[in-house]
Amino acid sequence: MRKNSIAGYAVGALLGLGLTGTVSAAECIAPANPGGGWDFTCRTIGKIMHDIGVVDKPVQVTNMAGGGGGLAFNHVVNERNEDADLIVAASSATATRLAQDAYGGLKADQVRFLGAIGADPGVIVVAKDSPYQSLTDLIDSVKADPGSVTFAGGSAVGGFDHLKVLMALGRAGFTDIRKVKYIGLDGGADALTQTIGGHTQAMTGDISEVVGFLKADDVRVLAVMTEERVPGFEHILTAREQGIDVVAVNWRGLYVPRGISEDDYRKWSDALATVAASSEWAAAMKANGLAPFTKVGPDFQDYVNKVVGEIEQLSRKIGVIE
């Protein structure tokens, strides 16, 4: 198998050279197929960077799906470690998988996290006709009988959508978290469909996944997991306000290869900070249900380290990792 992949890389590298030629424009790798959050990050940030002139050529987006982002991570660490023209889309899912050792032994410190400039706040949602009126209602019901509530989310067991629920339950004093029923579906909209259809009792996901259904009045958002209420969704209570001290957001950001120079790192973080401050990005955030969440440069690196540590602990507790 090892030999195969080495040969594969050789073939891939050759073809890659043939395909990309001598173009030296910046490249943004979206470690997933077109359509997801990472793809959005690359395309939107890349486009704005060019539109506002912080890069002179259009940023080329490469979709490199595989291993839940692991393929791209591996590619960056092993083959592009000194490529100063490369940025890679990342999110909470990247941190989660790194914490759970899902990238084949690679660690978070093998790249440099550049920054996050927006976040999709975590939400817990029920169907319009659900008996649960508040987050406390729902949690009380889980406490009384864990079998009575199935949560649906857009990530696999142990993924960020699952962990959000467990964090909330944990803060509410429910410790038997292995009893919590969770099913993973292909994306938040799918999970929401199951919940509205009455097949599951609650959905855990990001606020952007809920917007359309919320406007159509098909769902009730029980809580949003941010420090403050989200602009544009002021009527939704935070979990904190309901006495459950949990904050969980799905940030959207970038990482760069470990081996680039300090100057290049600063160049990219300045570029990203400029995007964060632009009106174009504000509009894109609004359209996609993202809340402001700007951490760029070394600050962000510290934040990621902290989150990775937290998730590692929780995952150990539920037995996702040993």
Geometric angle at alpha carbon 80, from 78 and 83, rounded to 5°:
150
- Write out the binding residues for other proteins, residues 131-160 only, by CB under 8 A: 147, 150, 156-159
> What is the per-residue binding string for other proteins in 18-37, x denoting contact by CB under 8 A?
-x-------------xxxx-
Instruction: Pick the binder of other proteins from 193, 242, 278, 305 (CB under 8 A).
Output: 193
Q: Does 187 bind other proteins (CB under 8 A)?
A: yes
Query: Does the footprint of other proteins cover residue 7 (CB under 8 A)?
Result: yes
Smallest gap from Cβ 126 to other proteins, in A, equals 14
Give the Cα separation of 140 and 136 in Å (integer).
Answer: 6
Q: Is 309 in the site for other proteins (CB under 8 A)?
A: no
Per CB under 8 A, contacts with other proteins among 254-283 are: 283
Stretch that binds other proteins, among 180-188, 230-238, 240-248, 256-264 (CB under 8 A): 180-188
Please report whether residue 216 would count as binding other proteins according to CB under 8 A: yes
Binding-site member from 171, 181, 229, 267 for other proteins (CB under 8 A): 181
Show contacts with other proteins in window 66-125 (CB under 8 A). 66-68, 70-71, 74-75, 100, 102-104
Q: Contact between 17 and other proteins (CB under 8 A)?
A: no
Which residue's CB is nearer to other proteins, number 218 or number 299?
A: 218
Q: Which of these segments, 57-65, 167-175, 223-231, 260-268, binds other proteins (CB under 8 A)?
A: 57-65
Task: Please count the residues of this chain forming the interface with other proteins, following the rule CB under 8 A.
Answer: 74
**By rule CB under 8 A, what string of x and - marks binding of each residue 196-215 to other proteins?**
xxxxx--------x-xxx-x
Q: Binding of other proteins at residue 318 (CB under 8 A)? A: no
Q: What is the 3-state secondary structure (H, E, C) of the chain?
A: CHHHHHHHHHHHHHHHHHHHCCCCCCEEEECCCCCCHHHHHHHHHHHHHHHCCCCCCCCEEEECCCHHHHHHHHHHHHHCCCCCCEEEEEEHHHHHHHHCCCCCCCCHHHEEEEEEEEEEEEEEEEECCCCCCCHHHHHHHHHHCHHHCEEEECCCCCCHHHHHHHHHHHHCCCCCHHHCEEEECCCHHHHHHHHHCCCCCEEEEEHHHCHHHHHCCCEEEEEECCCCCCCCCCCCCECHHHCCCCCCEEEEEEEEECCCCHHHHHHHHHHHHHHHHCHHHHHHHHHCCCEEEEEECHHHHHHHHHHHHHHHHHHHHHCCCC
77, 183, 247, 273: residue in contact with other proteins (rule CB under 8 A): 183
Closer to other proteins by CB, 68 or 253: give it: 68
Closer of 277 and 287 to other proteins (Cβ): 287
